[in-house]
Amino acid sequence: MLIFLGDSINLGVELVQETGELTPESFDHKTKIKNYWNPKLSRLDLAYPELMSQELKLDYVTLARGGATYAYSLRSLQKYIAKENPPKGSTVFLDTAHCGRAYLVDAGNMGIEHQVFWEMPATAKEQGRKEGFTIHESTLEMLDKPGVLEFLQRITPYYNLQALRHIRDTCKIHGYNFLFCEIFEGLYSGSLDMDPSPSKQIADLQPHEIFNSDKYKNNPDYRYGGHISVLGNQEIAKDLSAWYRENIC
């Protein structure tokens, strides 16, 4: 079983512009994606999780969501484990996301999560509307006050790094393999050198837990707009499948 965590890179966002819209009857997505996605904006059938699944002949699920961050990925994984209990030996792939995005939960409203995704410097409200997410009005009101976003911008990388490590530890205790895929942005490593605070220890991934390649970032053939092109998705699928065969099989 392959489990994919991350943001829009996992979903084939912008491939619609490159290749046209997905024909719904040609692709059965029901078992493959668990979170909100918009088939008019993304081509899940051309994204690397689908291609890897075909290459390795293994079932997969993607828990990704556009604009997601590590804290959101952690929450998605926890929910999925609680509900589906995937088997030991499953492999979790987490792709690079922007550490400056925030994911907030108002625990006081049990069952009504307040989820906010945004990328600085856009305001939460603007970003929320743009992405089509349902955001609780009271959350928006809180976030769009002076000083609030500035403070969140300071502290979200730390929480995201904690979530990254938490995902790794969760995989370990459930007997899942884990791979952090630095396939697009190197933002994981952007805030590691803050001794004496333990940022390095917080996200102390081992070399065998990180897949890093510059070739997707630097080759325009592998990029389309702000995302990965069809060719890029094929190349990532090939490389990650090779990693899987070498390290897991």
Partner 1 sequence: MLIFLGDSNLLGWELAEVHGNIPPTFDPEKDLFIDPIRRLRLGEGGIALCNRPDLAFPELLSQKLKQEYINCGQGGSGYSKALFLFQLCISKTKLPDDVTVFLGTTGTMRSHFVDTLNKSEFHLFNNHITSNNAEYRDTASKYDRNPELKRMLQVTSTWYNLQAVGHISEICKARGWKFLFHEILPEDAVSRVEYEDMAPMPAPRVFKTGIAQGKSTGLQNSCDYMQNLHLSAEGHEFVAEKLFHEYHRLTNT
**Site of interaction with partner 1 (CB under 8 A):** 74, 78-79, 81-83, 104-108, 110, 114, 142-143, 145-148, 151, 154-155, 157-159, 161-163, 165-166, 169-170, 172-173, 191, 194, 196-202, 204
Helix (H, G, I), strand (E, B) or coil at 122: coil
Cis peptide before 196 (omega within 30 of 0): yes
Shortest separation between residue 207's beta carbon and partner 1, angstroms = 17
CB closer to partner 1 out of 122 and 155? 155
CB closer to partner 1 out of 26 and 206? 206
Shortest separation between residue 169's beta carbon and partner 1, angstroms = 5
Element (H, E) at 124: helix 124-131
Q: Which residue carries 């089509």 as its tokens?
A: 132
CB closer to partner 1 out of 20 and 151? 151
Q: How many helices (H) and strands (E) would you count in the chain?
A: 9, 7
17 CB neighbour count, 10 Å cutoff: 13
CB closer to partner 1 out of 191 and 234? 191
Q: Is 125 left (phi over 0), alpha (psi -120 to 50) or beta?
A: alpha
CB closer to partner 1 out of 58 and 81? 81
Shortest separation between residue 213's beta carbon and partner 1, angstroms = 25
Q: Which residue carries 């976003």 as its tokens?
A: 149
Shortest separation between residue 94's beta carbon and partner 1, angstroms = 16
Q: Which residue carries 């938490």 as its tokens?
A: 166
Shortest separation between residue 66's beta carbon and partner 1, angstroms = 22
Angle at 69 between CA 232 and CA 72, to 5 degrees: 125
